[in-house]
Chains A and B, each alone.
Chain A
Amino acid sequence: EVQLVESGGGLVQPGGSLRLSCSAPGFTLSSYSMNWVRQAPGKGLEWVAYISITSGTIYYADSVKGRFTISRDNAENSLYLQMNSLRDEDTAVYYCVRLLQLWASPHYYYGLDVWGQGTTVTVSS
């Protein structure tokens, strides 16, 4: 079964750090670009970060730029999100998500096709 499994969430004080991990039992994560998406309690979805297959291209939402770092270890079949200088507004469920990228000439087509179950990060004193 194709699945993603996140871990590393928890309660942290404002200004603190946390590292989220995502593993991919059932498929080869190194064959896909990956993303982190978050959802604050009772709110909508917010795209957080993207990393290409080789880690050569990385993007962040402005809300986390300079504080969060996305990385991957293809040998370990794992994805990570290092979160520093955490704020109250970073409280959310964080999802590890696979990018579907299909080529149908003359375009690529995109979607987020495999989602983890999410890990909860709570930033509070």
Chain B
Amino acid sequence: EIVLTQSPGTLSLSPGERATLSCRASQNVGSNYLAWYQQKPGQAPRLLIYGASSRATGIPDRFSGSGSGSDFTLIITRLEPEDFAVYYCQQFGPSPPYTFGQGTRLEI
């Protein structure tokens, strides 16, 4: 099973700042198999990034993803108040389970 470790656990920033979130896999995932999600309290998660770097439909360009192999990054430039939420990475590697990271809480 591929384990995804996200860091930091909590990130405290202010609107207008830049956020850098990390997701590290226990083995090579392949860049086409890594996705990022945003979840706000009481809501279902929302797909932000697929294929490590492709934005999903309707996602603002202040969200960007990068990485390959086992190290991936989600960057949010110029934080907006609505960006404060929990972020998860997920891998769809060679075989299931399609594990999630434990999440990074982005707080003001």
Chain A residues in contact with chain B, CB under 8 A? 35, 44-47, 50, 59-62, 95, 100, 102, 104, 107-113, 115-118
Contacts and interface: CB of A to CB of B under 8 A. Distances in A.
Given A44-B100, A109-B32, A113-B47, 19 more contacts: A47-B90, A47-B96, A47-B99, A47-B100, A50-B98, A60-B96, A62-B1, A95-B44, A100-B50, A102-B50, A108-B32, A111-B35, A111-B49, A111-B56, A111-B90, A112-B35, A112-B47, A113-B57, A115-B44
Contacts of B35: 110-112
Interface of B: 1, 30, 32-33, 35, 37, 39, 44-47, 49-51, 54, 56-57, 88, 90, 92, 96-103
Contact of B50 (A44, A46, A62, A109): A109
A62 B97 contact: yes
B6 to A, nearest CB: 9
Name the residue among B33, B44, B100 with the largest chain A CB count within 10 angstroms.
B44
Nearest to A62: B97
A110 B32 contact: yes
Pick the 3 closest A-B CB pairs, nearest first. Answer: A111-B50, A109-B51, A115-B44
Nearest to B92: A110
Contacts of B47: 100, 111-113
Contacts of A107: 30, 32, 51
